[in-house]
């Protein structure tokens, strides 16, 4: 028995030792990046930031990609992703299902702390407003976003569809889904008539990578402001490691010599749609989108005459209001 216990203890030590270096740091960190664009585009965009993270933490940082948002969420759930860039809706899934925790927030290089969901169409489509879309004559095609996308799915799902008591399936002859880049390409090339998107992709990313395509797209609906994207880490990471990660993100582009700050600001400005220095954040950042998701549940239950569903949604909304009373409506 003692020999078995000793062997078991030795195996535990070997497993733990293989995951962490002698100084308590992991041998590698995996940084998950949601699939807003092609992997090649994301690698080019995030590569310089990841290299600076490696220098600061002293361990290799590997970019982790998946074909959809769910892949990054599942990666964190099964400890294949240690930290990640998420949208607010996918961050809710990471927090609720994958033991994630929000620790920082991106902002624009202009200082803006949010962005907007859009409906877009081809400039020659003849569609000019949300009212045109909501005619729902079944003659058009629609490009929806990833189900875990905030601006591509959750926000239009509430403001465009739920509040107007309609669904895309009722309105269009065909509904497909893609990431923001895929939806923009589909609209520009006439593959779909209308699609979801956001201001970051339409006005920042695409004009840099494909200005000719950008000229073929027009915006026909814009949402209220959405809080900028969160950074999420696994809650069970060692506390010392989390402090080092937090220090890297908060000081980057903010502290040091003018030369250091300029170099880091340039890196941030070329990351994703153009970022500024990160802000400290928490799970409270997700409050707005949680409330929208709860409202959608209530509206759906009301349409279906589901009294139990209405009761559950109202209880969730009441709990979220209590949280808002403590941290503020936007979680700040």
- The model's pLDDT over 119-132, given as tens digits with 9 standing for 90+, comes to 999 999 999 999 99
- ∠ CA 330-143-288, nearest 5°, is 10
Report the pLDDT averaged over residues 147-156: 94
Q: At what angle do helices 39-57 and 239-251 cross, to 10 degrees?
A: 110
pLDDT tier for residue 268 given thresholds of 50, 70 and 90: very high
Residue 1 pLDDT grade (very low, low, confident, very high; cuts 50, 70, 90)? very low
Please compute the mean of the pLDDT values over residues 105-125 and round it to a whole number.
Answer: 94
- Mean pLDDT on 12-39: 70
Architecture of domain 115-226: 3-Layer(aba) Sandwich (3.40)
How high is the pLDDT of residue 24?
65
Band of residue 15 on the pLDDT scale cut at 50, 70, 90: very low
DSSP, residue by residue, 204-227: IIHHHH-HHHHTTEEEEEEPSPEE
At 200-257, the pLDDT tens digits run 999 988 998 899 999 999 999 999 999 999 999 999 999 999 999 999 999 999 999 9
Residue 274 has pLDDT above 50, yes or no: yes
Domain spans of the chain, in order of start: 2-112+228-281, 115-226, 287-327
For residue 13, pLDDT beyond 60: no
Q: What is the mean pLDDT of the chain?
A: 90
- DSSP-assigned letters across all residues of 59-114: S-EEEE--SSHHHHHHHHHTTS-SEEE--HHHHHHHHHHS-EEEEEE--BTTS--E
Q: Is the pTM of this model over 0.85?
A: no
Spatial distance between the Cα atoms of 48 and 298, rounded to a whole number of angstroms? 44
Instruction: Check whether 285 has a pLDDT greater than 60.
Output: yes
2-112+228-281 and 115-226, same CATH topology: yes
Percent of the chain predicted with pLDDT > 90: 81
Rg of the chain's alpha carbons, rounded to an integer?
22
**Band of residue 21 on the pLDDT scale cut at 50, 70, 90:** low
* CATH number for the segment(s) 2-112+228-281: 3.40.190.10
pLDDT at 157 over 50: yes
Decide if 295 contacts 162 (C-beta within 8 A): yes
Q: Is the pLDDT of residue 11 over 60?
A: no
C-alpha–C-alpha distance, residues 233 and 300, integer Å: 33
Does residue 12 have a pLDDT over 50?
no
Q: How confident is the model at residue 9 (pLDDT cuts 50, 70, 90)?
A: very low
Distance, CA of 159 to CA of 163 (rounded, Å): 6
Q: What is the pLDDT of residue 327?
A: 85
Residues 6+ apart with CB under 8 A from 190: 122
- Provide the 3-class DSSP secondary structure of residue 143: strand
């Amino acid at each position: 028995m003692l020999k078995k216990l000793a062997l078991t203890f030795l195996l535990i030590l070997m497993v733990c030792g293989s995951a962490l270096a002698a100084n308590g740091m992991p041998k590698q960190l995996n940084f998950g990046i949601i699939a807003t664009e092609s992997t090649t585009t994301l690698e080019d965009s995030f590569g310089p930031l990841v290299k600076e993270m490696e220098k600061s933490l002293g361990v290799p940082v590997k970019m982790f990609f998946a074909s959809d948002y769910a892949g990054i969420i599942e990666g964190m759930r099964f400890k294949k992703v240690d930290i990640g860039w998420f949208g607010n809706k996918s961050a809710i899934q990471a927090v609720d299902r994958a033991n994630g925790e929000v620790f920082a927030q991106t902002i624009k290089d202009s200082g803006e702390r949010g962005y907007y969901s859009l409906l877009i169409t081809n400039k020659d489509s003849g569609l000019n407003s949300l009212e045109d879309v909501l005619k729902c004559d079944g003659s058009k095609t629609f490009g929806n976003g990833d189900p875990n996308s905030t601006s591509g799915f959750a926000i239009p799902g509430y403001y465009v569809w739920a509040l107007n008591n309609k669904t895309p399936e009722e309105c269009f002859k065909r509904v497909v889904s893609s990431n923001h880049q895929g939806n923009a390409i589909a609209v520009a090339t006439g593959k779909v008539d209308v699609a979801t998107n956001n201001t970051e992709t339409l006005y920042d990313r695409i004009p840099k990578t494909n200005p000719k395509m950008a000229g073929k797209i027009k915006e026909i609906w814009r949402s209220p402001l959405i809080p900028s994207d969160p950074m999420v880490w696994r809650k069970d990471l060692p506390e010392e490691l989390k402090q080092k990660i937090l220090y890297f993100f908060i000081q980057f582009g903010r502290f040091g010599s003018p030369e250091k700050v300029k170099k880091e600001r340039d890196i941030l400005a070329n990351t994703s749609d153009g970022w500024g220095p990160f802000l400290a954040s928490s799970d409270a950042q997700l409050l707005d989108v949680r409330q929208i998701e709860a409202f959608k549940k209530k509206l759906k239950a009301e349409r279906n005459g589901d009294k139990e569903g209405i009761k559950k949604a109202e209880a969730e909304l009441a709990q979220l209001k209590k949280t808002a009373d403590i941290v503020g409506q936007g979680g700040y």
